[in-house]
Amino acid sequence: MNRFDKILWRINGVVLLLMLLAGGIVAVSALCVSFSYSAHQHEDAAVVNVNQATHEKEYLHLGDAHLFNGASIARMSLYADSSYRGSYSSSSGGNVRNYLFLDLAKMTSRWLFPGFTNLIVECCDFRSPFKRVDNGGEINVVSSVYEVIDSDSNNDRKINMDDQPSVYFASSDGKQTGQIIPPSDHILSMEQLSSTEFLIVYTKKKSTMGSIFSVDTGKKLREAKLVLDDN
C-alpha cells in the first residue's frame, strides 16, 4: 500500500469515527427526551383535577381500610392533595374525593361516586343493633350517609366549602346510592335515632328542617320545619 492509500484510509477512519460519535450523541439525546417524556407522563397520571381558576393540580392517594360487617367489607377514603409526596398515610390530610369499597369475600371493588371531583365533607355510619357506645363487640354497619359538595353552586369555578352541600344515602357495600337531601345552605346534624331511623337537620332558604329516614332503605319517613326561637 502506497503512501497516498495510507492517507486515504486514515481520512476514511476519522470520518467513520466522527459519524459513530454523532450517531451516539443523537441516540443518547433521544433516550433523554424519551425518559423525560415518560417521567412527565407518569407525574400527570397522578393528577386528579386541574382547577380551571388557579391551575392547581391535585394528586390521589388512598387512606387506611376500615373493616366492618364481620370484616367482609373494607372502605378506603380517596384523598386529593395539591402537593405530591410519593407516599401517604390516612393522617396525611387532604380532601376526601371518593370512597373505594372492597368486598373481601368476592374480591370485587366499586367506587361510591363516579369521578373524583366531589368534596366529601362528612360520613356517618348507621349500625344494627344500634349502640351509642362501642363496647368492643362486633357491630354491623347497615348503611351510611355522606355530606357531599358535588357542584359549583356559587359559580366561582371551584368546588369547595363555599358551595352548597347535599346528603347521599348508601348501603354498607356502596352499591345502593342516592341523594336524600338536595343542595342546601348547611347540614347541621346527621344522627342515628334507633336501629330503624336516623335524623338529618339542615337549613335551606332561611328555614331549618328536620327529616327522619329509614336506616335500611334511606326512604324519607317524615319531615317538619323546626322552630328554633321563641318568636
How far is 196 from 216, CA to CA, in rounded Å? 7
Percent of the chain at pLDDT exceeding 70: 63
Q: Which residues contact 30 (CB under 8 A, 6 or more apart)?
A: none
**Pick from 170, 172, 216: nearest CA to 194:** 216
Question: Do β-strands 166-171 and 177-181 pair in parallel, antiparallel, or remain unpaired?
Answer: antiparallel
Q: Which ranges of the chain would DSSP assign to H, the alpha helix?
A: 3-45
**What type of residue is 190?**
M
What length is written for the chain?
231
- Which triple of cell numbers denotes residue 180? 336524600
How far is 72 from 67, CA to CA, in rounded Å? 7
Quick check: bond before 114 cis, omega within 30?
A: no
* 3-class SS of residue 168: strand
Residue 5's pLDDT band, with cuts at 50, 70 and 90, is low
**What type of residue is 88?**
Y
Q: What are phi and psi of 44, to 5 degrees?
A: -65, -25
Sign, Cα dihedral of 70, 72, 78, 79:
positive
> What tens digit of pLDDT does each residue of 24-64 get?
544 434 434 333 333 333 333 334 454 554 556 778 888 88
How many beta carbons lie within 10 A of that of residue 195, not counting itself?
A: 14
Exposed / middle / buried, residue 183 (Cβ in 10 Å: 0-12, 13-18, 19+): middle
Q: Is the predicted pLDDT of residue 155 greater than 80, yes or no?
A: yes
**Pick from 147, 223, 211: nearest CA to 185:** 147
**Pick from 225, 188, 185: nearest CA to 205:** 185
Predicted TM-score (pTM) of this structure: 0.70
> What tens digit of pLDDT does each residue of 94-147 get?
689 999 999 888 889 999 999 888 999 999 999 877 655 454 545 688 899 999
Question: Do β-strands 119-128 and 220-226 pair in parallel, antiparallel, or remain unpaired?
Answer: unpaired
How far is 100 from 110, CA to CA, in rounded Å? 6
- Which triple of cell numbers denotes residue 114? 363516579
| Of 56-60, 135-139, 149-153, 185-189, minimum mean pLDDT range | 135-139
